[in-house]
């Protein structure tokens, strides 16, 4: 089976490509390399943008694609607030373009990279998939709109999809040759490790007055390889005839920013220099997933659920590749 992975040179994409290869799938990647890294991919890579229709058609014409995993998207909450035009423009139109080319070439199965940001401020924790969807930023809205488009395309055109709503992706493949390399970096665990390495003066804690036990936000950190496993399981479910649906992917436990820092200190044996700062706009106090449905229906079993293991795999990547992928 040949799987097209859009955004396969990115963080979660490149780990999923590896999981697919391990399972014996043929994989091709489409990536515009705006955020992704060529070095992260060891399969055929088409460099180009999903907004380029003739490029996309060429990829489908040259390969017998059986199913698609769609990662490629802009994914920074803060940026989406300042540039909603980019997020609505590119995330939604690129997904539409991809779906239309899939229809033209008779490809009817897609796994879609969605997000916990579709829920907005939680009314219930852990958050089940049925929770109201009230995103608080254009990034979450763009992903929710695409889920709605997928649902309509499923009804009208027979496309089947599984949307996977990630909580906080973290960690790196224990092999150590691929990992998280965002430029600029905005995510907590890599920022903590960069502070440990002296690449940043200090880690700023965004808010210490949240209604949580230690005053800092609680997040559900999920290992990138566990996310990758879920994509493979979702593809297999679709191949077995599963109906279209969405699943949360998290560990079901919330860790505070302070707990992440403390665990990083334990893992690295070094101190994390910190500053306590104001809240970051748009951050809910608590985001924790209920992933019971993914466990029951996909047979998903996280292998790296422990926070210390997650941080240790990230540390293994960062300390050996302090400057990320070498361009
Ligand atoms: N955070 C922080 N300092 C930073 C970056 C993040 O205190 O420099 C906090 C952030 O407020 C949130 C948690 O760490 O509570 C995880 O943030 P991240 O950006 O990694 O993921 P998000 O939850 O936004 O998807």
Which atom of ligand 1 has the smallest separation from the CA of 77? 24
Ligand 1 in contact with 219 (CB < 6 A)?
yes
Query: DSSP states of 83-149 as a string?
Result: -HHHIIIIIIHHHHHHHHHHHHTT--EEEEEEEGGGT-S-SSSSBPTTS----SSHHHHHHHHHHHH
Shortest-distance Cα residue to atom 16 of ligand 1: 188
269 Cβ contact partners less than 8 Å away, ≥ 6 residues apart: none
Query: pLDDT at position 118, please?
Result: 96
Sign of the Cα pseudo-torsion (90, 121, 254, 298, in order): negative
Distance 62 CA to ligand 1 centre (A): 41
CB 183 within 8 A of CB 253: no
Pairing between β-strand 218-219 and β-strand 255-256 as defined by DSSP bridges: antiparallel
Distance CA 243, CA 159 (A): 10
Query: pLDDT at position 281, please?
Result: 80
Shortest-distance Cα residue to atom 5 of ligand 1: 188
Ligand 1 in contact with 3 (CB < 6 A)?
no
Angle at 152 between CA 151 and CA 158, to 5 degrees: 85
From the CA atom positions of the chain, what is the Rg in Å? Answer: 19
Which atom of ligand 1 has the smallest separation from the CA of 187? 20
Q: What is the mean pLDDT of residues 130-159?
A: 97
- The closest alpha carbon to 167, from 87, 227, 233, 79, belongs to 227
Ligand 1 in contact with 170 (CB < 6 A)?
no
Ligand 1 in contact with 259 (CB < 6 A)?
no
Query: pLDDT at position 176, please?
Result: 94
- The closest alpha carbon to 42, from 12, 61, 15, belongs to 15
Residue 297 CA, chain-centre distance (Å), reads 20
Ligand 1 in contact with 182 (CB < 6 A)?
no
- Catalytic residue, candidates 139, 153, 221, 247: 139
Strand partners of residue 165: 114, 248
Give the predicted TM-score (pTM) of the model.
0.97
Ligand 1 in contact with 187 (CB < 6 A)?
yes
139 among known catalytic residues: yes
Distance CA 255, CA 307 (A): 8
282 has pLDDT over 90: no
CB 110 within 8 A of CB 70: yes
Tally DSSP H helices, then E strands, for the chain: 11, 14
Mutation test of ligand 1: which of 171, 257, 258, 286 has the most ligand atoms closer than 8 Å to its C-beta?
Answer: 257
Residue 78 — very low, low, confident or very high, per pLDDT cuts 50/70/90? confident
Distance 279 CA to ligand 1 centre (A): 10
| More confident of the two residues 78 and 8 | 8
Q: Using the 8-state DSSP alphabet, how is residue 297 labeled? A: I
Distance CA 141, CA 118 (A): 6
Please, what is the average pLDDT of the chain?
97
Taking only the tens place, the pLDDT of each residue in 151-178 is: 999 999 999 999 999 999 999 999 999 9
- The closest alpha carbon to 210, from 135, 136, 284, belongs to 284
12 has pLDDT over 90: yes
């Amino acid at each position: 089976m040949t799987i097209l992975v859009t955004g396969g040179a990115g963080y979660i994409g490149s780990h999923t490509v590896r999981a697919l290869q391990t399972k014996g799938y043929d994989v091709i990647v489409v990536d515009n390399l705006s955020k992704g890294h060529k070095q992260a991919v060891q399969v055929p890579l088409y460099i180009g943008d999903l907004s380029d229709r003739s490029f996309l058609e060429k990829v489908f014409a040259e390969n017998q694609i059986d199913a698609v995993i769609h990662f490629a998207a802009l994914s920074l909450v803060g940026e989406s607030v300042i540039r909603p035009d980019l997020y609505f423009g590119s995330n939604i139109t690129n997904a539409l373009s991809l779906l239309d080319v899939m229809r033209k070439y008779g490809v009817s199965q897609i796994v879609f990279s969605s997000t916990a940001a579709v829920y907005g401020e939680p009314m219930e924790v852990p958050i089940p998939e049925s929770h109201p969807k009230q995103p608080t930023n254009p990034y979450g809205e763009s992903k929710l709109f695409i889920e709605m488009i997928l649902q309509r395309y499923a009804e009208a055109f027979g496309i089947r999809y599984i949307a996977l709503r990630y909580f906080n992706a973290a960690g790196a493949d224990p092999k150590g040759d691929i990992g998280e390399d965002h430029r600029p970096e905005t995510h907590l665990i890599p920022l903590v490790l960069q502070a440990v390495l002296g690449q940043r003066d200090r880690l700023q804690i965004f808010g210490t007055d949240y209604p949580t036990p230690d005053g800092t936000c609680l997040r559900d950190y999920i290992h990138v390889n566990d996310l990758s496993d879920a994509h493979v399981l979702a593809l297999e479910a679709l191949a077995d005839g599963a109906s279209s649906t969405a699943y949360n992917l998290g560990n079901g436990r919330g860790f505070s920013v302070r707990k992440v820092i403390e665990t990083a200190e334990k893992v690295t044996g070094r101190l994390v220099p910190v500053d306590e700062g104001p809240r970051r706009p748009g951050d809910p106090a608590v985001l924790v997933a209920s992933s019971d449905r993914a466990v029951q229906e996909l047979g998903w079993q996280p292998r790296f659920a422990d926070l210390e293991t997650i941080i240790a795999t990230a540390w293994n990547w960062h300390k050996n590749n302090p400057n990320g992928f070498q361009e």
